Amino acid sequence: MVDLRPGEAVVKEGNVVRQNPQGPRPGVLTLTNHRLIFEVHLPQGPGGPVVRRTIDAPLGRIQNVAALDGSRLQVQLPMQVGVFESPEAAEWVRVITEARSHAPPGGGMPGGPRGPGGPGGPGAAGRPGGLFGQYGPRGQGGPGPGRGPGAAPPPPRPCAYCGRMNEPAATKCAGCSAPLPAG
C-alpha cells in the first residue's frame, strides 16, 4: 500500500513482474498523479513476506516510458531503467504519459523549467484549477481602491479653535479665521 501525500491520488495500480538482472521480481506498480512507485513483493523472506520499494520517482524524473512490445513496459529514470512484464504495457504507457503531461513543471529536478511562460503561467486563460491550482488564474485585480480620480474625497478639516468643519482645501477657518494646519 502506498502512502499518499495531500493532493495525491492513485491513477493506476497493477501487478507486474520486473525483469531484473538477478531474476524476475514480482511486485506492484503504482502510478499516482505525483509519482511512479514500484514495490517488490516477495512471498518468502527470512522474516516472512518481503515488500521493498525499489522505485519512488516523481513524474518529472521519468525520462522516457515505452512499451517494448505488448507485454513489456520500459521506464527510464535518471539512475535506472525498469522493465516490467505486464499485459497492460500499452495502457501503462498511456496513463504514465498522461500523468506526466499534467505533472508540475520541474518535478523536483534542479534547474527545471519555471517562471513566467511555463504551463499555467500568466496568460494561460481558461485552464481549470485542479492540479494547477497554485498557478491558476487569480483574477486581474482591477483598478483597486486608491487615491486616484473618483476616490473618496478627503475628509473635512475641523478647526482646532472653534471646532467648525472647514472645506478640505481651506487654509483658514471660515468661522474664526484661525489658520488651519497644512495637510
Which residues are near Zn ion by CB under 5 A?
159, 161-162, 164, 173, 175-176, 178
Least CB distance to Zn ion at residue 170 (A) = 10
Nearer to Zn ion, 161 or 168 (CB): 161
Listed residue (60, 62, 66) closest to 118, CA to CA: 60
Task: For the CB of residue 161, give the shortest distance to Zn ion in the complex, in Å.
Answer: 5
Nearer to Zn ion, 99 or 173 (CB): 173
Least separation in angstroms between residue 152's CB and Zn ion is 24
- Please tell me the distance from the alpha carbon of residue 143 to that of residue 50, in angstroms, as a whole number: 62
Task: Supply the minimum distance, in Å, between the C-beta of residue 153 and Zn ion.
Answer: 21
Q: Are 136 and 122 in contact (CB under 8 A)?
A: no
Pairing mode of beta strands 157-158, 81-85: unpaired
Report long-range pairs for 15-20 (Cβ below 8 Å, ≥24 apart). Answer: 15/86, 16/73, 16/84, 16/85, 16/86, 17/84, 17/85, 17/86, 18/54, 18/82, 18/83, 18/84, 18/85, 19/72, 19/83, 19/84, 19/85
Nearer to Zn ion by C-beta: 63 or 177? 177
Please tell me the distance from the alpha carbon of residue 50 to that of residue 96, in angstroms, as a whole number. Answer: 26
Residue 73 is which amino acid? L
Min dist. Cβ of residue 155 to Zn ion (A): 16
Comparing CB distances to Zn ion, the nearer of 90 and 178 is: 178
Nearer to Zn ion, 65 or 173 (CB): 173
